[in-house]
Chains A and B, each alone.
Chain A
Amino acid sequence: MKVRSLAAAAALLAACRGGEENVTGEKTDVVIVGSGASGSLLAAKLAQAGKRVVILEAGPERTLGDLYSSQIWSRRLKWGGPVSESSGEHPIALNFNQGWGTGGAAMHHYAVWLRLHLEDFAMKTRFGRGLDWPLGYDDLRPFYDRVQAEVGLSGDADAEVWRPPGAPYPMPPLVVFNQARIVERGFAMLGLRTSPLPLAINSVAFNGRPPCIYDGWCDAGCPIGALVNPLVVYLPEARAAGAEIRHRSFVTRVLTDSRGARATGVEYYDAGGRRRVQPADLVILSAFAVQNPRILLNSATAAHPNGLANSSGLVGKYVTAHLSTNVFGLFSDETQNYLGVTGGQLLSQERYAKDPAKGYLGSSQFVIGNALKPTDLLGIAGGRPEIFGEALHAFLRTASQHLATMTVFSENLPALQNEVVLSDRRDAYGLRLARVVHTFGADDLACFDAAVVQGREIFQAAGAYEVWDAGRHNAHMLGGTIMGRAADSSVTNSYGQTHDIPNLFISGSGLFPTSGAVNPTFTIYALALRTADYLLGERSALA
């Protein structure tokens, strides 16, 4: 067989990969790739509207009974598929941020649910830098409000003085323990305000789910369902409405018709390594932000030689991440840092407002009083990686009782050169792996460094006898399949519908044109709900 075109090469490759076990399933209305935050919400809403929905989840099945209280065991929830390459001057932590199994990354997320601010949606217009979203805060606000009413958020909207307009939280804030109170002293000494941290964790029983018991095991998954995860919110509704979820189903390509005008389904490999095709009227890519562009780029055909939905050349571009670190302090007080939730207890967004007069453009925030365990990446020992030997034992004994911390998040302005591309390495199915290239810019670093300086001052004002920070790290991965108003400057419209292929949608943090400085999960859910409304409305791609 001679190869005269990309399509022929793809067909040959598929035949080699699939061998004779090439199974085409029954056509469904919707196939969703990934069972995480956005995929689970979309599955629920579409199935409840009577659509036949199939979810293909790359990882294994998880149940609440699998969520053991152990930092070591919790690593099962982190990405266990083919490892993407992470490069650039500031490589993004990929495996740590991704999920593996039912619920994806939302199974191990910390449930810090914050709204983006008004200016985050209009960076280009307001500051001449970055990108504009194709929608404003007012467009998204009703969906933030609806999501929080459906899943339950705990917080104090009045105390959160920086919060954009929105409905009050349905639950009161969670309990604040000694660690956060101690750090709060420093904020007060410097005239800085704090508020309860809004969390997607029940402070009281809500919708049949129990309240939090403050044991700090959020990172290992919350088996009681006090913390919003897909096993307790949206996936149960999806299943009850007839949605099917197939685990260990690794999607490799989106398939299109001969003209490349419409998606016809997806190709995937099942647990036995058999190639399968799931035909569908509508394809939604809801995988992690590194996997969606990988699938699109690997789906190149003769009609789409640079990958699907990539007429703009922007698939994979404008990847962002939050600059992040922890400020630590040792106090003579007993901090009881093992109590609370992993996400934190208090919030301060006094540094959020963007003002180029500061000498940089960007936002940052402090999330105060993360519950700590001794081990793992964000554990107590991880705060002082240079210490070893008997000194490490001694540090752990002291810090277990007297350490306090807060997390700094700051903005990453979008840059074209930060991208997901295909690596020369291939996975077990012969598909090229992803390589993420990422470097923070001068504004990003200046914004972050200024926040860290103030963070250390806060801890000193709070009375810490030793203060340090963990250096420059990153959290969350955003962008890579950005939304926008025009087909030549973005991959999708504001609903995640690709400009090039009307029945191919994308959901998740990859849609974000800018990062803001807030944790992205609440916005992921709000955007997904808006997409669900669109799909079920008059202009539906399902019509």
Chain B
Amino acid sequence: MDTKRRDLGARESNQEPSLKTTAGSHGALLVSRRFVLAQLAAGASALAIRSAWGWLSPAAARAQGVALQHLSVAQAAVLEALGDTLLPGAARAGVAHYVDDQLGRENPLLFLKYVDWTGPYLDFYAQGLQSLDRYGSVRFGVPFADASPEQRTALVREIAAAVPAGWTGPPSPLFYFVVRNDALDVCYGTAEGLEELQIPYMPHLVPPAKW
């Protein structure tokens, strides 16, 4: 069957867009590291928030103190604490501003869309964050945002495994799953995130800054 599988050389001879390759150890094609890195064009950030100062990334919106539109300051603090526990750096990357901005959109691009959540998106976050804070108080006597890193890790491990007694709103494992993906979005869901992992972006079309 191998003889029928096209090789890249054949395509290059057709003058089509091509990858720079070398032969791999298994007859497959290895893309050169030089090519990979060359493809890591900075590009525009895929995450941008309209503010009085123009279009900003969530990280810049956070750094510049852009006012939240849907989440309260207290809710954002819990979301950032949870985001940093799930994926350190998510708070600075603007997870709270990202979620807050998307909550105001007609067709939000949040991961939450995938889980067939039938209620208002804001309720998902508001109820989950409230339950998390409350559970922190029950377990360690402090709200989640004020808990130590070790306590936060323990709390996250517990809510990911099962719904604690007294938890209301979205089931805690689902809440964990969704916010974990929000954190991944802001840290690794853009061209910069791919570059961080040394994954070639290779875009067909780079998203516009405005969305």
CB contacts under 8 Å to A, within B133-180, are 153, 156, 160, 177, 180
Q: Would you call A211 an interface residue if the criterion is a C-beta within 8 Å of the partner chain's C-beta atoms? A: yes
| Residues of chain A lying within 8 A (CB to CB) of residue B107 | 76, 80, 100
Q: Would you call A389 an interface residue if the criterion is a C-beta within 8 Å of the partner chain's C-beta atoms? A: yes
Do the beta carbons of A375 and B117 come within 8 Å of each other?
no
Given contacts A96-B114, A156-B5, A400-B197, whether A72 and B189 have CB atoms under 8 Å apart is yes
Q: Would you call B85 an interface residue if the criterion is a C-beta within 8 Å of the partner chain's C-beta atoms? A: yes
Q: Would you call B185 an interface residue if the criterion is a C-beta within 8 Å of the partner chain's C-beta atoms? A: yes
Q: Would you call A177 an interface residue if the criterion is a C-beta within 8 Å of the partner chain's C-beta atoms? A: yes
Do the beta carbons of B87 and A389 come within 8 Å of each other?
yes
- Expressed in whole angstroms, the Cα–Cα distance for A381 and B180 within the complex equals 10
| Residues of chain B lying within 8 A (CB to CB) of residue A68 | 46, 203, 205-208
CB contacts under 8 Å to B, within A45-82, are 65, 67-73, 75-76, 78-80
Do the beta carbons of B204 and A69 come within 8 Å of each other?
yes
Do the beta carbons of A173 and B114 come within 8 Å of each other?
no
Q: Which of B24-32, B62-70, B72-80 contacts A (4 or more CB under 8 A)?
A: B24-32
Do the beta carbons of A388 and B87 come within 8 Å of each other?
yes
Q: Would you call A502 an interface residue if the criterion is a C-beta within 8 Å of the partner chain's C-beta atoms? A: no
Q: Would you call B8 an interface residue if the criterion is a C-beta within 8 Å of the partner chain's C-beta atoms? A: yes
- B155 CB to closest chain A CB, in angstroms? 12
Select B184's contact among A70, A215, A216, A381, beta carbons within 8 Å.
A381
Select B211's contact among A73, A204, A222, beta carbons within 8 Å.
A73
- 1/0 per position for A90-109, CB-CB distance to B under 8 A? 01011110001000000000
Residue among A67, A93, A176 with most chain B CB within 10 A: A176
Select A175's contact among B29, B118, B156, beta carbons within 8 Å.
B29
Do the beta carbons of A84 and B177 come within 8 Å of each other?
no
Select B189's contact among A70, A80, A401, beta carbons within 8 Å.
A70
- B21 CB to closest chain A CB, in angstroms? 9
Given contacts A217-B204, A400-B197, whether A176 and B28 have CB atoms under 8 Å apart is yes
Given contacts A69-B204, A185-B26, A374-B193, whether A78 and B188 have CB atoms under 8 Å apart is no
Do the beta carbons of A215 and B205 come within 8 Å of each other?
no
Q: Would you call B11 an interface residue if the criterion is a C-beta within 8 Å of the partner chain's C-beta atoms? A: yes
Q: Would you call A329 an interface residue if the criterion is a C-beta within 8 Å of the partner chain's C-beta atoms? A: no
Do the beta carbons of B188 and A76 come within 8 Å of each other?
no
- A330 CB to closest chain B CB, in angstroms? 15
Do the beta carbons of B114 and A95 come within 8 Å of each other?
yes
Given contacts A181-B27, A388-B85, whether A205 and B16 have CB atoms under 8 Å apart is yes
- A63 CB to closest chain B CB, in angstroms? 11
Q: Would you call A163 an interface residue if the criterion is a C-beta within 8 Å of the partner chain's C-beta atoms? A: no
Q: Name the interface size band of chain A.
A: 35 or more
- Expressed in whole angstroms, the Cα–Cα distance for A54 and B129 within the complex equals 46
| Residues of chain B lying within 8 A (CB to CB) of residue A173 | 4-6
Report the nearest A residue to B194, measured CB to CB.
Answer: A374
- A393 CB to closest chain B CB, in angstroms? 7
- Expressed in whole angstroms, the Cα–Cα distance for A315 and B82 within the complex equals 44
Do the beta carbons of B177 and A78 come within 8 Å of each other?
no
Do the beta carbons of B205 and A84 come within 8 Å of each other?
no
- 1/0 per position for A367-392, CB-CB distance to B under 8 A? 00000011111010110011011101
Report the nearest A residue to B110, measured CB to CB.
Answer: A75
Do the beta carbons of B207 and A374 come within 8 Å of each other?
no
| Residues of chain A lying within 8 A (CB to CB) of residue B194 | 373-374
| Residues of chain A lying within 8 A (CB to CB) of residue B6 | 172-175, 203-204
- A477 CB to closest chain B CB, in angstroms? 12
- A461 CB to closest chain B CB, in angstroms? 15
| Residues of chain B lying within 8 A (CB to CB) of residue A75 | 109-111, 113-114
Select B16's contact among A178, A211, A215, A336, beta carbons within 8 Å.
A211
| Residues of chain A lying within 8 A (CB to CB) of residue B202 | 69, 213, 215-217, 338
Select B200's contact among A71, A338, A376, beta carbons within 8 Å.
A338
- Expressed in whole angstroms, the Cα–Cα distance for A376 and B180 within the complex equals 10
- B145 CB to closest chain A CB, in angstroms? 17
| Residues of chain A lying within 8 A (CB to CB) of residue B109 | 72-73, 75-76
Given contacts A178-B30, A375-B184, A389-B85, whether A397 and B116 have CB atoms under 8 Å apart is no
Report the nearest B residue to A385, measured CB to CB.
Answer: B177
- A290 CB to closest chain B CB, in angstroms? 11
- Expressed in whole angstroms, the Cα–Cα distance for A376 and B109 within the complex equals 11
Q: Would you call B59 an interface residue if the criterion is a C-beta within 8 Å of the partner chain's C-beta atoms? A: no
| Residues of chain A lying within 8 A (CB to CB) of residue B205 | 65, 67-69, 223
Q: Would you call A86 an interface residue if the criterion is a C-beta within 8 Å of the partner chain's C-beta atoms? A: yes
Do the beta carbons of A73 and B46 come within 8 Å of each other?
yes
Report the nearest A residue to B27, measured CB to CB.
Answer: A181
| Residues of chain B lying within 8 A (CB to CB) of residue A210 | 16-17
Do the beta carbons of A177 and B29 come within 8 Å of each other?
yes
- Expressed in whole angstroms, the Cα–Cα distance for A492 and B111 within the complex equals 37
- 1/0 per position for A201-235, CB-CB distance to B under 8 A? 00111000011011111001011100000000000
Question: Beyond A72-B190, A389-B86: 11 further Cβ-contacts under 8 Å?
Answer: A72-B185, A76-B109, A86-B116, A91-B116, A159-B1, A172-B5, A180-B28, A185-B26, A204-B11, A375-B188, A376-B181
27 A-B pairs, CB-CB below 8 angstroms? A69-B201, A73-B46, A76-B109, A80-B107, A85-B116, A91-B116, A95-B114, A159-B1, A175-B5, A175-B7, A181-B26, A196-B5, A203-B6, A204-B6, A205-B14, A210-B16, A211-B11, A211-B14, A213-B202, A213-B204, A333-B25, A339-B29, A374-B189, A375-B184, A381-B184, A389-B88, A400-B198
Considering the complex of A and B, which 9 residue pairs feature the smallest CB-CB distances, nearest first? A69-B203, A159-B1, A215-B202, A68-B207, A181-B28, A181-B26, A178-B28, A80-B107, A400-B197
Which residues on A are within 8 Å of B, measured CB to CB?
Answer: 65, 67-73, 75-76, 78-80, 83-86, 91, 93-96, 100, 156, 158-159, 172-178, 180-182, 185, 195-196, 203-205, 210-211, 213-217, 220, 222-224, 333-334, 336, 338-339, 373-377, 379, 381-382, 385-386, 388-390, 392-393, 396-397, 400-401, 425
